[in-house]
A and B are shown apart, each in its own frame.
Chain A
Amino acid sequence: MTVKLPIYLDYQSTTPMDPRVVEVMIDCMKNDYGNPHSRTHSLGWKAEEMVEIARKNVADLIGADSKEIFFTSGATESNNIAIKGVAHFYGATGKNHVVTIATEHKCVINSVRDLEQEGFSVTFLQVQQNGLVDLKQLETAITDKTCLVSIMTVNNEIGVIQPLAEIGALCRKKGAFFHTDAAQAFGKIPLDVNSMNIDLMSISGHKIYGPKGIGAIYLRRKPRVRIKPIFSGGGQERGIRAGTLPTPLVVGLGKASEIAKNEMQKDHDHIKKLSDKLFDGVTKLTHVYLNGDLEQRYIGNLNFSFAGIEGESMIMAIKDLAVSSGSACTSSSLEPSYVLHALGVSDELAHTSIRFGIGRFTTEEEVDYAIKLIASKVDKLRHLSPLWEMMQDGIDLKSIEWKGH
């Protein structure tokens, strides 16, 4: 079997839509154009019914009640609503402290930074070398002024899974709400808001083979989490997020959630098999390191550092593979990944990192092709690399006085 190029290995960035999702969405766009908020005719009622089915599908995937799910444009919006919404509501009562970690997605980090600008007190906890939060540090950081602890479920760059149940228990004990950005986890690993004591959760559609432009936020009802909404509007989504719901997108997220729930084990087994294969194939090469904890990780994410090879040149060399780099040169900034930096990965190794994402539609042939390609290009690029030459000559790179810019 020949493989179709390029091979998509960037499932943390986004996912191709499942054909079953596309099908229900097209049907909805063709036939069910009613405004789900219209109460005066059957087209509105039908759309509303479809939205409510989708809401239940989302809720079922995390052990929540439908009434606790509110649709948004995606995880970025949900994170903004959760962090700013809780802080603005409870800040007035004197709870004006927010805790998060250094490896969060930029939308969480920047939401918290915005609060800091407004005068809130904020704590950015460092993570351990394996990317996981230190629970003792977290416990010390939460005070009686803390209204919210925001810690992601699965890290987007390195795939590590934070200990949600332990964090949730800690937050409950200390009287702070627990928000988790589950954009990379929802539909991929088992999540239960009750057993994990999660009070708010951000959810994304396009990471689980659903459409872009739709997500959701879970807000616990008992004990009730209150937020100050960001949008002013017509009171849709019970005032949490005003604006007419995009029924086809909502239906798409619902279908994607339903499939994810029914096929979670199947997806897991498929991805695990391919992930193990890629891991074995790539780590056979010398001086390749996996970033983030080996055990506590989502299996569909493998972030490797290839010593001596700068990330962008690697990506150019393996251009048959659609992958992402934590390396500076792919973005407009020249800083290497802040996530790897937080793990204490040295700058030179951070510049060599590549993220491989495996998903529902990845095939074994694609992984075989990828391993072969990676192996041949690693050789070629190391032959080009002065750092690799020095390492081979036994020169400690740290012993050299570099004249950097």
Chain B
Amino acid sequence: MAYSKKLLDHYENPQNVGSFAKDEKNIGTGLVGAPACGDVMKLQIKVSDDGIITDAKFKTFGCGSAIASSSLATEWIKGQKIDEAAKITNGQIAEELSLPPVKIHCSVLAEEAIKAAIEDYKKHKNAA
């Protein structure tokens, strides 16, 4: 399967790999996918008081496209307001990485991971 240069770049040198410390504040965590399907993405955001994503991290179990999609997603959302980040669509990710049709689900997962992280952040904030 021929992958685009951008995709390979993100795969070879993934950005923002890791997890935030468990006791850190203002974190939202999205965990999407399932091991049985061969894709699991964990995407975390750190949000400032005025609702801006100041940092993002990910870990992904999945194929090269899944890893690249999540790496790209963390790059894009850093510095964005959470409401803007929630508008990122899988189509934008798929287009940027020139995902082949059988890999579109990887970009869907990345979009869901962003949304899930934002939901999680809001839930914690409201609870606090």
A308 to B11, CA, bound (A): 17
Which of B31, B37, B59, B62 has a CB less than 8 Å from the CB of A313?
B62
How many Å lie between the Cα of A334 and that of B40 in the bound state? 14
Partner of B31, one of A330, A384, A386: A386
B49 to chain A, nearest CB (A): 28
For B108, the chain A residues whose CB sits under 8 A away are: 405
- A383: chain B residues within 8 A (beta carbon): 17
CA distance A348 to B38 in the complex (A): 6
CB distance from B28 to the nearest CB of A (A): 15
A404 adjacent to B62 (CB under 8 Å):
no
CB of B37, distance to nearest CB on chain A (Å): 4
User: CB of B97 within 8 A of chain A?
Assistant: no
* Residues of the A chain whose Cβ atoms lie less than 8 Å from the Cβ of B31: 386, 400
The answer to the question of A336 belonging to the interface, with a C-beta cut-off of 8 Å to chain B, is yes
Cβ-defined contact, B38 with A402, below 8 A: no
Main secondary structure of the interface of B (DSSP, over half): mixed
> B104-118 vs A: 1/0 string, CB under 8 Å?
010011000000000
Cβ-defined partner of B32 (8 Å) among A336, A387, A403: A403
Q: Which residues of A contact B60 (CB under 8 A)?
A: 384-386
Option from B40, B66, B109 in Cβ contact (under 8 Å) with A387: B40
Residues on B with beta carbons closer than 8 Å to the beta carbon of A405: 33-34, 37, 39, 105, 108-109
B63 contact from A312, A388, A389, Cβ within 8 A: A312
B105 → chain A closest CB, angstroms: 6
Residue B46, interface by CB 8 Å = no
- CB-CB under 8 A from B78, the residues of chain A are none
**How long is the Cα–Cα vector from A387 to B102 in the complex, in angstroms?**
23
Most chain B beta-carbon neighbours within 10 Å: one of A327, A334, A386, A388: A386
A248 to B1, CA, bound (A): 33
B34 touching A403, Cβ below 8 Å: yes
A5 contact set on B, CB distance < 8 A: none
Interface string of B59-90 (1 = CB under 8 A from A): 11111101100000000000000000000000
Interface string of A321-340 (1 = CB under 8 A from B): 00000011110101010000
Which of the residues A332, A336, A403 comes within 8 Å of B38, measured between beta carbons? Answer: A336
Number of interface residues of A (CB under 8 A): 31
Partner of B34 from A313, A329, A388, A404 at Cβ < 8 Å: A404
* In contact, B35 and A351 (Cβ under 8 angstroms): yes
Q: Which residue of B lies closest to A325 (CB)?
A: B63
With A328-B38, A332-B102, A405-B105 already in contact, the answer to whether A312 and B32 are too (CB < 8 A) is no
**In this assembly, does B36 line the interface, its C-beta being within 8 Å of a C-beta of chain A?**
yes
CB of B92 within 8 Å of the partner chain: no
Across the interface, which residues of A come within 8 angstroms of B40, CB to CB?
A: 386-387, 402
Is B19 engaged at the interface, CB distance under 8 Å to the other chain?
yes
A316 part of interface (Cβ distance < 8 Å)? yes
Complex CA gap A159/B66 in Å reads 30
Is A347 part of the binding interface, using a Cβ–Cβ cutoff of 8 Å?
A: yes
**A residues adjacent to B (C-beta < 8 A):** 308-313, 316, 327-330, 332, 334, 336, 346-348, 351, 383-389, 397, 400, 402-405
11 residue pairs A–B, Cβ–Cβ below 8 Å: A309-B61, A313-B11, A329-B62, A329-B63, A348-B35, A384-B17, A402-B36, A404-B33, A404-B34, A404-B37, A405-B34
10 closest cross-chain pairs (CB), A and B: A404-B34, A348-B35, A402-B34, A347-B36, A312-B63, A386-B42, A329-B63, A386-B59, A351-B38, A316-B64
